Amino acid sequence: MYDSSLLFFLFAFISIVVGTVAGFGTSTIFLPIALFFVDFKTALVLVAVSHLAGNVGATTFFRHGLDKRLILIFGVPSIILTILGAYLVIYVPQKILIIALGVILLIFSIIFLLRPDFKVAANRINTILGGALSGLLQGLVGIGGPIRGAFLISYNLDKYKYIATLAALAVVIDLTRIPIYLTNNLLETQYYYYIPVLVFLGIVGSYMGKRLVVLIPQDKFKKLVLIAVAIASIILIVGGFKS
């Protein structure tokens, strides 16, 4: 039990550091790994907690780069659709959620490996739609960062403003969905002690990520992460169909 918990926390920490450096969500990396330790709904809550803590840290450390206008335009539809997605979790079978997660991650990784410069036109309509779609996916399957990144990168933000704005949006969405998960009893009481540990790891991991951002070539690093995500997504899809 303790050995698996330590491994879970180690992967949480690594995922937060990698997610901060790569510029897209910790959930994208950590959620597929967490499913090797716990069931989908438990993983959804615990990963959301680590995601929130990591992004609170990133927002704090990169706060000088916040774009308040984008946070407002993108954030409002995200919150509304996150609520819908978070409530739908209790009605959708776990097998379907796992397969859906795998398919979304696989599509995301293939698109960004083949077209690393992929972005969506920077206009108000696309920003609102991007916020809505990322919120729905974040609430339902725990993955919304890649969608937010694809839409926000089109605004040609510098690296620090990009990270800060993505992190702030993630904080708003996580603060919306986590209470819904908890009130719907998605997390068993035996896992409640994980929460303070994950909060601590999130803050420390995001600080480590900040220190590494200036040292690691971001393009090459992202490619390696995307390959790992693609492999993890295939494992999820195959495992979902076998279960």
pLDDT in tens, 186-213: 999 999 999 999 999 988 888 888 787 7
pTM for the full model?
Answer: 0.83
Paired tokens of 175: 């603060």
Kindly state the helix (H) or strand (E) to which residue 177 belongs, with its residue range: helix 159-183
Cα→Cα distances 39→34, 45, 240, Å: 8, 10, 12
What CA–CA distance (Å, rounded) separates 73 from 94? 32
1 pLDDT higher than 60: no
Opening angle at CA 53, ends 47 and 194, nearest 5: 55
pLDDT in tens, 69-96: 888 888 899 999 999 999 999 888 878 8
Contact 89, 97 (CB under 8 A): yes
